[in-house]
Amino acid sequence: MFVAVHPPHPTQSLISALLAAGMRPVPIAAPSEVVDRAPRQGFAMAVVQVIDDVGLAIGTAAKLRSDHGLAVLLVTDRTNTAELDDLDGFDDFLLSPIDHAELRVRAARLAQVTVEPESAVLRHRDLELNTATYQATVAGEPRDLTYMEYELLRHFVENPARVWSRQQLLSAVWGYDYFGGARTVDVHVRRLRAKLGEERSSWITTVRSVGYRFG
């Protein structure tokens, strides 16, 4: 699931914990960026980390709740807990250093992810992607895709004919602008082509000096 993360440059320990918990963090500098940075399925929740200014973090959390209806998990260290007693604007908080298991439990409680029935199945020719069950089939035959292979293919199917740079794909699919690199995209494209099979591998076209196009 995608989560909006503030500030735009949180600690590496938070990013690592979110990724380990199966979340895809998308950095936002301000609540106003939520609309522009949101993936197609929307954000499941928001995570706000207190770095220096508790008041600023709480203000951001409150705006994310009131303006965008996002549940907010506040991440802070133990020295700030006394300041949180009389404050509102967030739904739950997590103390650092972050316990990965606790993060998963709290995030699962807060996240609100729904799939519209009418959009549960995506199709391209004889390819079907069931976004509710994360199953992929080609001509009725299942394809064993990893989570990120599935998400990359899903992104391609949802955006046919458009040319995507590797950096754009990293941001849209992996969720964090500077996490990973161009090789990550190339490796996943190569694996997808192999799993689609020789007849369908050409669906993903390499656009020289730019990136990739699907369709």
Phi, psi of 62 (to 5 degrees): -65, -40
According to CATH, the topology of domain 2-110 is Rossmann fold (3.40.50)
Give the pLDDT of residue 117: 44
Return residue ranges of the chain for CATH 3.40.50.2300: 2-110
2 Cβ neighbours under 8 A, 6+ residues apart: 23, 24, 25, 26, 38, 39, 41, 42, 43, 44, 175
| N residues, the chain | 215
Give the pLDDT of residue 4: 94
Give the pLDDT of residue 10: 92
Give the pLDDT of residue 115: 36
In whole angstroms, give the CA distance from residue 166 to residue 74.
32
Whose tokens are 């009725």? That residue is 140
In whole angstroms, give the CA distance from residue 146 to residue 206.
21
Asked if CATH classification 1.10.10.10 holds for the domain at 118-214, the reply, yes or no, is yes
26 Cβ neighbours under 8 A, 6+ residues apart: 2, 3, 4, 5, 37, 38, 39, 43, 175, 176
Give the pLDDT of residue 118: 45
| Cis previous bond, 8, omega within 30 | no
From first to last of its 215 residues, the chain has per-residue pLDDT tens of 889 999 999 999 999 889 888 888 999 999 999 988 888 778 889 999 999 888 899 999 999 988 888 999 999 988 877 777 667 788 888 999 999 889 988 888 887 533 344 457 888 999 999 887 788 999 999 999 988 899 899 999 988 888 999 988 888 887 765 455 778 899 999 999 999 999 999 999 999 989 999 98
Return residue ranges of the chain for CATH 1.10.10.10: 118-214
